[in-house]
Structure 1
Amino acid sequence: MPRQARIDGAGTLHHIICRGIERREIFTDDSDRDDFVLRMGTILAETSTRCYAWALIPNHFHLLLQTGTVPVATVMRRLLTATWGSSLEI
């Protein structure tokens, strides 16, 4: 059974967890983490999405985002469709 749709209006806070498939690493070194943070910063600025907290762990990450002008699903789709994101599941 699919999960229910996320309630998402401007200003809504979301705790997002994204984990590697079979708990495999998604960040293998500082370069991976730096690339992710740079990409995330660019996307958040372009979409007026606020990030209040984030944590990058080798096999997953947590984000606390507040929806801006673009739905959080669109923000996450853009963030996760980089070449390093091929082993990620939400």
Structure 2
Amino acid sequence: MVIKVPRKARTKSKTSVYQIIWRGANRQEIFHDYQDWIQFLDILKKYKIRYQLVIYAWCLMENHVHLLIKEGNEDISITMKRIGISYAKYYNWRYITTGHLFQDRFKSENVETISYLLTVVR
């Protein structure tokens, strides 16, 4: 018998600022060309405007994403879910695939101080 343990809830940041890392499933590429990067940034911009996110920095690699974001008027987990679903739909449509694009849920670190914010940006 397998006993499932519920995953630990995210700790809310006192500043509402998070460093977010998202990886492709099995570390697969999630961006193959310039068009994919632009599509992801367009989706990010859409939700930035809609939910009043503050985006301090971003770095898109072939198989993962780094974001430095201040939560807007919606819980960061919900907003990130919307962004992930939107990009996965685009990706699956463009590359005629199905299934999960991202590995697990996104990882996040709370950014509570200016010095850590500067470290993350670096």
Does TM, normalized by the shorter one, top 0.5?
Answer: yes
Cα deviation per residue 1:2-57 (whole Å; 9 max; x = unaligned)? 55222336841111100001110000000000000011001011001111010000
Which runs of 5 or more structure 1 residues have no equivalent in the other structure?
none
> Normalising to structure 1: TM-score of the pair?
0.88
Tell me, what secondary structure is at the counterpart of 1:5?
A: coil
1:55 to 2:59 alignment: yes
> Normalising to structure 2: TM-score of the pair?
0.67
CA distance in 1, matches of 2:82, 2:54: 15
- Correspondence list, 1:21-36, <5 A: 21-36=25-40
Tell me, what secondary structure is at the counterpart of 1:87?
A: coil
1:40 to 2:44 alignment: yes
Which runs of 5 or more structure 2 residues have no equivalent in the other structure?
93-99, 107-122
Aligned residues: CA RMSD: 1.9
Shift of the 48–10 alpha-carbon distance from structure 1 to 2, 3 Å rule, reads farther
Partner of 2:101: 87
Partner letter of residue 44 of structure 1? K
Higher strand share: 1
CA distance in 2, matches of 1:62, 1:2: 26
Q: Name the larger-Rg structure.
A: 2
Aligned-residue identity in percent: 30
